[in-house]
Amino acid sequence: MRIAELSRQANVSIPTIKYYLREGLLSPGERTSRNQASYDETHLGRLRLIRALIDVGKLPVATVREVLSTLDEPDMPLHEVLGVVSASLCERRQTEPDDVLAAGREDVDALIERHGWQIADDTPELDVLAGIIVSARRLGHPHIADAFDNYCEAAAAIAEVEVGYVSELGTVENVLEGVVVGTVLGEAALAAIRRLAHQNVSARRFTES
C-alpha cells in the first residue's frame, strides 16, 4: 500500500509517519519509483505499536527507539522483550533515599515470596511498592502493606486472563502493542472501578437506615 493508505488504516497522519521514518522508528517502505514507496502489514503492525507506546504509554521517542531495537534483536526471547517494554512504562520517580527504601523493600520481598511469584530482583515496581509502604508509614498508616496480600490475590486472577488474551494476539508487535494498551488502559480502568466499588460499599454501609 502507499503511504496515504497506510496513514488511513493506521489512523496516523502522513507527516507523523514521515517523522517516524526519519527517526528510524519505522523501516523504509519498498521503493516503487523515484517518489513512491510501498508499505505492507508489517509496517501497519509496527505503526500501531509505535502509536501505543507514544500515545497510550506516553513514552518519549528515544525510549520507543530503545524498545523497538530490543524487538529487532533476533535472539531476544519474548519474555525479555516484555520485560523491557514493561520496565520502560514504569515511571521511576524515586523520591526516597536507598536506605529509607530498603525498609519498605523487605516487606515487598516477603510479599513476593509469600505468594511464590517469579519476579526479577531489578523490576522497578518492587521499589515503587517499597516507596508506597514508606510513605504510608510516614503518614501514620503502618498497616497499608496488609492490604497488599488482597491485591496480590486479585491481581493474580486478573493477570492470568490478561496474559492469556495478549499471548493470542499473533505477531510479537501485536503482543507488545496489546501489553502496552492493556497495561496502561487496564490500570486506569482498574483504578476507576476500585473507586466505584468503594462508593458502592460505602453507600451500603453509610446510608442504610
Q: Which of 33, 35, 150, 209 binds a copy of itself (CB under 8 A)?
A: 150
By the 8 A CB rule, do 69 and 25 touch?
no
Residue from 74, 118, 121, 122 that binds a copy of itself (CB under 8 A)?
Answer: 118
Of 41, 58, 142, 165, the one binding a copy of itself (CB under 8 A) is 165
The contacts of residue 100 (CB under 8 Å, 6+ apart) are 134
Grid cell, residue 148, equals: 497488599
Residue of the chain from 151, 168, 170, 171 that contacts a copy of itself (CB under 8 A): 151
65: which strand partners?
none
Residue 103 near a copy of itself by CB under 8 A = no
Residue in 162, 180, 176 with CA at minimum distance from that of residue 59: 180
- Helical H segments across the chain, by residue range: 3-10, 14-22, 41-51, 61-71, 78-89, 98-114, 124-138, 146-167, 172-207
Exactly one of 21, 37, 76, 155 binds a copy of itself (CB under 8 A); which one? 155
Nearest residue (CB) to a copy of itself, 91 versus 99: 91
3-class SS of residue 31: strand
Q: Please report, as residue ranges, which positions from 17 to 36 form the binding site for a copy of itself (by CB under 8 A).
A: none
How many CB atoms neighbour CB 195 within 10 A? 10
48 contributes a contact to a copy of itself by CB under 8 A:
yes
The x, y and z cell numbers of residue 145, run together, are 502493606
Near a copy of itself in 168-207, by CB under 8 A: 177-179, 181-183, 185-207
Complex with a copy of itself: residue 40 or 187, whichever CB lies closer: 187
> Does 110 participate in binding a copy of itself (rule CB under 8 A)?
no
Least distance (Å) between residue 207 CB and a copy of itself:
5
Binding status of residue 56 toward a copy of itself by CB under 8 A: yes
